[in-house]
C-alpha cells in the first residue's frame, strides 16, 4: 500500500483545484464533502477515480437522503475510498426532475448496480443509464418507497 499521509485540509485544497465548480466542505469529523450539480456529477466521479494523485478507486457506499422541504428533495450521497491516500470522501448530488433522476455510476463500478437499485427501491430515485433498474429488497409490485419521509414507519396497511 503506497500510503501518503495527507491532512484533510490539504486534501480539500487539492479537491477544490481539481474539481472547479464543486463546493468542498467538511463534515462534523473533518471528512471532505464535495457537492456537485447534477450535470457535473459523472465528470467529478471520473476525476476522483482516475486522477493518479487521488485514486478514489473503491465505491464504498451509495445511498440517498430525502429532504422533503427542499426544492430538489432527493440527495444522492456517495462514499469513496482511496487506498493511495488512506482517506474517504463524500460526494453529494441532488436529483433533478420528476421522477428525481441522477446519472448512474454502473459504467464506472459494477458495485454501483445494487447500491443504486437499493436507492431506487427505498427512495424512488431514478438512475439514468442503469442496466437493471428493478427493486432489490421489496416486492416488484410495491407502489411506495419506505425511506421517503412521508412514509409512516408502520406502513400504509398492516
Partner 1 sequence: MAESRYMTLNMGPQHPSTHGVLRIVLELDGERVVAAKPVIGYLHRGIEKLAEGLTYHQILPLTDRLDYTACMNCNLGYTWAVERLLGIEDEIPARAATIRIIMAELSRIGGHLIWLGSHAGDMGATTVFIYAFREREWIYELFEDVCGQRMTVSYPRVGGVSQDLPAGWIDNCRAFCKKMPQCVDEYERLLTNNRIWQARTKNVGVLSEADVYEWGLTGPMARGSGVEYDVRRVLPYGGYENYDFLIPLGETGDTYDRYLVRMQEMRQSVRIVEQALDRLEEGPILADIPRIAPPPKVDVGTKIEALIHHFHLVLEGFDTPQGEIYFPSEAPKGELGFYLVSDGGPKPYRMKIRVPSFSNLQSMVRMAPGRYLADMVTLVGTIDICLADVDK
Q: Which residues bind partner 1 (CB under 8 A)?
A: 1, 3, 27-29, 31, 57-61, 63, 65-66, 77, 79, 81, 83, 86-88, 90, 109-111, 113-115, 118, 122, 135-138, 146-147, 151, 153
* Nearer of residues 45 and 122 to partner 1, judged by Cβ: 122
CB distance 124 to 101 below 8 Å: no
Q: Whole-number minimum distance, CB 53 to partner 1, in Å?
A: 17
- Exposed / middle / buried, residue 32 (Cβ in 10 Å: 0-12, 13-18, 19+): buried
* Nearer of residues 81 and 101 to partner 1, judged by Cβ: 81
- Exposed / middle / buried, residue 99 (Cβ in 10 Å: 0-12, 13-18, 19+): exposed
Q: Whole-number minimum distance, CB 90 to partner 1, in Å?
A: 6
Provide the grid cell at 154.
Answer: 408502520
Q: Whole-number minimum distance, CB 97 to partner 1, in Å?
A: 22
Task: Compute the 3-state secondary structure of the chain and give helix, strand, coil in percent, each to the nearest 5.
Answer: 25, 25, 50
* Nearer of residues 22 and 118 to partner 1, judged by Cβ: 118
Q: Whole-number minimum distance, CB 94 to partner 1, in Å?
A: 15
Spatial distance between the Cα atoms of 28 and 24, rounded to a whole number of angstroms? 14
* Nearer of residues 13 and 138 to partner 1, judged by Cβ: 138
Amino acid at each position: 500500500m503506497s500510503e501518503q499521509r495527507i491532512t484533510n485540509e490539504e486534501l480539500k485544497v487539492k479537491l477544490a483545484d481539481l474539481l472547479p465548480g464543486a463546493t468542498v466542505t467538511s463534515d462534523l469529523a473533518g471528512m471532505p464533502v464535495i457537492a456537485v450539480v447534477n450535470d457535473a456529477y459523472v465528470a467529478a466521479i471520473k476525476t476522483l477515480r482516475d486522477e493518479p494523485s487521488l485514486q478514489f478507486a473503491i465505491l464504498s457506499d451509495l445511498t440517498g437522503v430525502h429532504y422533503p422541504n427542499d426544492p430538489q428533495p432527493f440527495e444522492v450521497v456517495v462514499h469513496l475510498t482511496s487506498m493511495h491516500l488512506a482517506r474517504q470522501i463524500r460526494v453529494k448530488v441532488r436529483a433533478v426532475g420528476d421522477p428525481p433522476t441522477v446519472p448512474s455510476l454502473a459504467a464506472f463500478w459494477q458495485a454501483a448496480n445494487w447500491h443504486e437499485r437499493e436507492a431506487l427501491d427505498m427512495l424512488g430515485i431514478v438512475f439514468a443509464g442503469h442496466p437493471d433498474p428493478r427493486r432489490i429488497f421489496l416486492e416488484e409490485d410495491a407502489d411506495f418507497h419506505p425511506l421517503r419521509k412521508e412514509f409512516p414507519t408502520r406502513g400504509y396497511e398492516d
